[in-house]
Amino acid sequence: MIGFLHTPPPFLFFTGKGGVGKTSLACASALALAEQGNKVLLVSTDPASNVGQVFDTQIGNQITPIQHVEKLSAIEIDPQAAAQAYREKIVGPVRGKLPEAVVNSIEEQLSGACTTEIAAFDEFTALLTDKTLQTTYQYIVFDTAPTGHTIRLLQLPGAWNEFLEHGQGDASCLGPLAGLDKQREKYAQAVDALSDKAQTRLILVARAQASTLQEVARTHVELGDIGLKEQYLAINGLYPEAAIDNDALALAVYQREQHALVAMPESLQQLPQDRLPLLSSNIVGLDSLRALVSTSVESVSESSASNVTTIQQDAYPHLDTLVDELAETGHGLVMLMGKGGVGKTTIAAALATELALRGNDVHLTTSDPAAHLSETLNGSLANLEVSRIDPEVETQRYRDRVMATKGKNLDEAGKALLEEDLRSPCTEEIAVFQAFSRVIRDANKRFVVMDTAPTGHTLLLLDATGAYHKEVSRQMGDKGMQFTTPMMQLQDPALTKVVITTLAEPTPVQEAVSLQADLQRAGISPWAWVVNHALIQAPLTAPLMQERAAQQLPYIEAVQVQHSQRLAVVPLQHAEPVGTEALHALCCAS
């Protein structure tokens, strides 16, 4: 039995970024506990939940017994449906009573990730404080835990409604908190349960990648600071040494992961840790779930022969096909977007390098905290300028400005609310976008390749709360003058090309689909998708690599057929693509 399932408390929470396997681990853990004779409830709030598929059981928002597992039941909370119901609870009473523009502004403030988090926590609370459920089930296993930011918000004193009514919180998360005051006692009980080691264990799920482990380290500290001390680390999907099978790419993956483990942040090294191997098949069915929590990395034997056909390199368009089309325009804004860990910084650097090598004047700007690509590129090419925006510096500058204006006449409780609101992820996006806006005008005369861009919700929030676009529109429109704001530039397909980066896996693709819908709501239509880290090298000799490659195919085809008119597929590299030569090679089909 793996370590985090040894003498567990009644509540188990699995958390981690998309695509690391937290749903699979949550399902496997729930099954293991049930087969030990315990009554178990599995709760999923993952927007890309496939719990029903894993167990071959139709599951919805009602507690449903799992077929062929006597003591296991599950429920899937749809976070989007929960957020919609939550929005309607707040907006419904004012619809028809307030001007439509005001109602639209309120709805937009309630449309982002913070609302979804808080609505999901609303559902968590019912389960964490339901005494009947706790007497019925010995264990409740949660797939996806509430964030530290959400929990801190719910710990704050004060009346959110009053704060909002006085116009003191137009930022990101106070809108979603409107109307929660009546449930403060129940939330306090839930937070107490989360921070009680005798009741709750948190399992941080990660892959052996430097960026992922750094993010998990931040989550570990953030949750520890608010009292969630009972934490375990699960490193999932490690390539087994025994399955390398003389495959050069498999060896490279293995060595890269081992290096990431050695360089793991010290705060994570101190945690109880489990390491689970990469399995050859997707985790579907009871047998694969049992294997997931019973197989150690060391126990994996050499792979058997496989008849899986290797995907050929020329089966899908490469990155240079996008560069060909971009280069025809001579200038413009190329904005890379995608969830963390999909490699968008590398793709941005590769596009910028290739455009510069073709003689174009290019400005690459990034807010990636790991600036090694910027340092490698700086001065490497005469017509490539590289700049880096420091998110921490820009965010602190933005917070200071808001506290000096909005917070000027607030009492201590009001200042505490505003300060907490300014810690939200949206705040960093707004601050970084304001810094990016200073370089967007460059796109009228040369290429500007922008990495780590804000979401559609943040752009709409800026627009809805007035900021720059609305104010300029009012002032210039009244005078009959021609004008262009950054928002209008982003919405202009002739000037701006948004490139969504993802991986050929279920959760990253689902997250990219949601991002695309978010952008379209803001009037921005993504221009192309890039599927990164694809296993399309030829030849792949390791059966495990061949099988994983075959499983990527449906997701690549779904992107090509359903989600984007333009697609580029970038193969997983033997070494990290750092430096102009490696980035140039990343673009080339040969």
Per DSSP, helices labelled H in 328-379 are 344-357, 372-377
Q: Are 207 and 457 in contact (CB under 8 A)?
A: no
Question: Could you tell me which of 265, 261, 244 has the C-alpha nearest to residue 253?
Answer: 244
Dihedral angle sign, alpha carbons of residues 124, 128, 133, 136: positive
Structure tokens at 284: 């579907």
Residue 192 pLDDT = 84
Q: Quick check: do 3-294 and 313-587 share a fold?
A: yes
| CATH fold for the domain made of 3-294 | Rossmann fold (3.40.50)
285: left (phi over 0), alpha (psi -120 to 50) or beta: left
CA distances from 255 to 239, 249, 373, 525, 582 (A): 9, 10, 21, 39, 19
Q: Supply the pLDDT for residue 32.
A: 92
Q: How many CA atoms lie within 13 A of 261 on its CB side?
A: 19
> In Å, how far are 6, 9, 231 from 3, measured between CA atoms?
5, 13, 11
In the chain, where the domains are located? 3-294, 313-587
Under 8 Å between Cβ of 200 and 9: yes
**Spatial contact of 432 and 389, defined as CB atoms under 8 Å apart:** yes
Closest CA to 540 of 169, 168, 250, 134: 250
- SS3 at position 273: strand
Number of helices followed by number of strands (H, E) in the chain: 26, 15
What gap in Å lies between CA 388 and CA 375, rounded to an integer?
Answer: 10
Asked whether the beta carbons of 201 and 253 are under 8 A apart, the reply is no
CB distance 570 to 319 below 8 Å: yes
What pLDDT is stored for residue 368 in this prediction?
65
- Does 21 participate in catalysis according to the annotation? yes
CA distances from 331 to 133, 256, 384, 392, 445 (A): 60, 37, 13, 30, 6
Active-site residue, selected from the candidate residues 18, 19, 148, 338: 19
Q: The tokens of 575 are what?
A: 């070494």
Q: Which of 73, 150, 507, 580 is catalytic?
A: 507
What is the pLDDT at residue 157? 46
> Is 46 noted as a catalytic residue in this protein?
yes
pLDDT tens for each residue of the chain, 590 residues long: 688 999 999 999 888 877 788 888 998 999 999 999 999 999 887 665 677 777 877 887 788 898 888 899 998 887 777 778 777 777 777 788 777 777 776 676 676 666 777 777 777 778 888 888 888 999 999 887 666 656 655 555 444 444 444 444 444 555 555 555 556 677 778 778 888 899 989 999 999 988 788 888 988 988 888 788 889 999 999 999 999 989 999 999 999 999 999 999 999 999 999 998 888 766 667 777 887 777 666 655 555 545 555 556 567 899 999 999 999 999 999 999 887 778 888 899 999 999 999 999 999 988 765 545 566 565 567 789 888 888 888 888 888 888 888 778 777 777 777 776 677 666 777 788 778 887 888 898 999 999 876 666 566 555 554 444 454 454 444 555 555 667 778 888 999 999 999 999 887 888 899 889 888 888 889 999 999 999 887 788 899 998 889 889 999 999 999 999 999 999 998 888 888 888 888 888 65
Burial (CB count <10 Å: 0-12, 13-18, 19+), residue 225: exposed
Interatomic CA distance for residues 403 and 395, integer angstroms? 12
Q: Which top CATH class is 313-587?
A: alpha beta
**Residue 367 annotated as catalytic:** no
Q: Which of 338, 365, 360, 361 is nearest to 349 (CA)?
A: 365
Whether 237 sits among the annotated catalytic residues: the reply is: no
Predicted TM-score (pTM) of the model is 0.78
Q: How far apart are the first and last CA of the chain?
A: 46
Which parts of 36-112 fold into alpha helices (H)? 51-55, 79-91, 100-109
Note whether 15 and 144 are within 8 A (CB).
yes
pLDDT of residue 176: 53
N residues, the chain: 590
Establish whether 22 is a catalytic residue.
yes
Q: What is the largest CA-CA distance in the chain?
A: 75
Active site residue 24: yes
Beta-carbon contacts of 296 under 8 Å, excluding residues fewer than 6 positions away, are 275, 276, 277
- Of the residues 15, 17, 18, 22, only one is catalytic, namely 22
Q: Which residue has the tokens 């639209």?
A: 104
